[in-house]
Amino acid sequence: MKAPLIDNLQYANFSPAIFEQMRAGGVDAVHVTIAYHESFREMVLNLERWNRWFEDHADLIFKGTTAADVIHAQESGRTAVFFGFQNPSPIEDDIGLVEICHQLGIRFMQLSYNNQSLLATGCYEDDDTGLTRMGRAVVAEMNRVGMVIDMSHSAERSTLEAIDHSTRPIAITHANPHWWHPALRNKSDRVLKALTGAGGMLGFSVYPHHLKGGSDCSLDSFCQMIAEAAARYGAQNLGIGTDLCQDQPDSVVEWMRVGRWTKAMDFGEGSAANAGFPPMPDWFRDNRDFGNIRRGLTATGLSAAEVDGIMGGNWHRFYAQGFGPS
């Protein structure tokens, strides 16, 4: 069986049309965000919505919880949907909810979004104090149950401490190297060396704020960056995490960036003049465009096996390593 196609981060406004596009694009598995700032109960309501989609569109999608589900998706011509949090809000201040969330199917959790959390520091804080006492305990609990630690929005010291404290490889599911584009959310060479040196995974983002040139970034520039990252860190540690926010209304940006922590709008990586979602690059509009990335990677001179790994094979291996109990 051919290597799977996996996108390890989307926050689209999901619909039957997007599920059809996933199938048209040959997407075998996708990690979707089901919580930003939600409480545990609010997160459960999001699970209810997904359960209805799984029931109503069983010919297109199903809930994924293990690496074997990726193979099942390929064999059945469907897309396996894996769940993750972009913030630890759903576990509130209760470490026992880590295992409960894993039992509900959550396989990834960021230790912080852009702000300080109970666990770690977000990348927009002025002072990065690293993992908190609860953060270190939650990392150990996530290791135990088989929930992957994601540091995509976390600050430098916190990320390095998570890599060091975790007994299992962690992930940065959606970001790019800071040496390619100096967005605050992109990751330093030091972090990426530590991440991949410990067996962790980096998922490359096509969200325009993370791209050199923004919405005008060329496919060649993006793929040459990936080829350079493969030379620096090893192609086996790289994958795709598009951060696709397809069909989301601009009002959702406010929820992502602000939640309930302030009354004012936090513009984050955007600006007051352009507070909504930026246009996607013309070579990646939706799930039907993964072939463009594959062709672009092939054109860089990466081997077929390296391209297969980056397009999904490496995430599949990582799922097998990370989703079960230790």
Domains with residue ranges and CATH for the chain: 6-322 (3.20.20.140)
Q: How many helices (H) and strands (E) does the chain have?
A: 12, 9
Closest to 33 measured CA to CA, from 64, 16, 12: 12
Which band of pLDDT confidence, cut at 50, 70 and 90, is reported for residue 269? low
Measured CA to CA, the distance from residue 326 to residue 321 in angstroms comes to: 9
pLDDT at 6: 99
The answer to whether the beta carbons of residues 171 and 200 sit under 8 Å apart is yes
Q: Report residue 210 as tokens.
A: 């993370």
Q: Does residue 271 register a pLDDT over 50?
A: no
Share of the chain above pLDDT 90, in %: 90
DSSP letter at 311 equals I
pLDDT at 266: 73
Q: Does residue 276 register a pLDDT over 90?
A: no
Q: How far is CA 281 from the centre of its chain?
A: 19
Measured CA to CA, the distance from residue 40 to residue 101 in angstroms comes to: 9
CB count in 10 Å sphere of residue 3: 18
Measured CA to CA, the distance from residue 151 to residue 276 in angstroms comes to: 24
Predicted TM-score (pTM) of the model is 0.96
> Rounded to the nearest 10 degrees, what angle do helices 290-299 and 219-233 cross at?
60
| Strand, helix or coil for residue 214 | helix
* Span 172-227, pLDDT tens digits: 999 999 999 999 999 999 999 999 999 999 999 999 999 999 999 999 999 999 99
Q: Does residue 119 register a pLDDT over 50?
A: yes
* Span 33-81, pLDDT tens digits: 999 999 999 999 999 999 999 999 999 999 999 999 999 999 999 999 9
The answer to whether the beta carbons of residues 207 and 242 sit under 8 Å apart is yes
| Strand, helix or coil for residue 175 | coil
